[in-house]
Amino acid sequence: MMTKSEIAKKLTALKKELKSSSLIAVTKYSPLEEVVLAYEAHQYDFGENRVADLALKAGDFLNAERSKVRWHLIGHLQSNKVQTLFKIPNLYAIHSVDSIHLLEELIKHESALVVPEVKFFFQVNTSHEVEKSGFESKEELNRAVELIMKRPSSKLKFYGLMTMGTIRTAEFEVSAQRCFKDLASIAHQLEVSFGLKNKLKLSMGMSQDYKIALSCGSDFIRIGSALFK
């Protein structure tokens, strides 16, 4: 496990690169103690892949009154986990709304949310790799946005788009840049078509490609392995 000063050093170095974007520290491989050290080093945004892990860590944070924490779900969400997710204290954002079906489940259960509102991102499969989730077609994405725009008073706040760069390729930099530019352009098209007043946020970039993502205008980078070894 890393020490507090090692974590603090890495956080400081990473945050220097960020300018106005935000860092989500991805804790899926980290024990709770390591997450606490990062929190004590003033990192408050944390991402987890699985609802069960998120619920456990969030419960511990609540008991210890670490109330500045903001939890982000970044992994695929199964419909049958939505109600558990909505009971999580300090849930801040869901980055992985990857289908209309899932959006409908979120809407159906929104009154179960224990937080006043939760931000969410539509995940877009810009790399078209079969093992990745996400919206595949612009038509389907448009229908999802229409659905949420019809419900302006919802506790679910449409906040932006998320994607992952291609992993398995010799030239991952080139592919990642293409994925990130695609996401920025899809977001722009949605802003224009739906007359969105607030600019859509972009959640893109992980340890291996976050510099590329930042150069493409990312608002949230999600970093695990480059932060916690």
Task: Name the residues that contact ligand PLP, by CB under 6 A.
Answer: 26, 28, 49, 74-75, 164, 206-208, 222-226
Shortest Cβ distance from residue 150 to ligand PLP (Å)? 28
What's phi and psi for 119, nearest 5 deg? -85, 150
Shortest Cβ distance from residue 59 to ligand PLP (Å)? 21
Shortest Cβ distance from residue 180 to ligand PLP (Å)? 13
Shortest Cβ distance from residue 176 to ligand PLP (Å)? 12
* Residue (148 or 223) nearer to ligand PLP, CB: 223
Tell me if 184 sits within 8 A of 165, measured CB to CB.
no
* Residue (193 or 225) nearer to ligand PLP, CB: 225
Shortest Cβ distance from residue 111 to ligand PLP (Å)? 28
* Residue (189 or 225) nearer to ligand PLP, CB: 225
110: DSSP letter: G
CB-based closest residue to ligand PLP: 224
* Residue (39 or 210) nearer to ligand PLP, CB: 210
- Residues 6+ away with beta carbon under 8 Å from 112: 83, 86, 87
Nearest to 220 by CA among 99, 95, 38, 39: 95
How many residues make up the chain in this entry?
229
The C-alpha atoms of residue 3 and residue 168 are separated, in whole angstroms, by 32
Tell me if 155 sits within 8 A of 113, measured CB to CB.
yes
Strand partners, 174: none
* Residue (73 or 145) nearer to ligand PLP, CB: 73
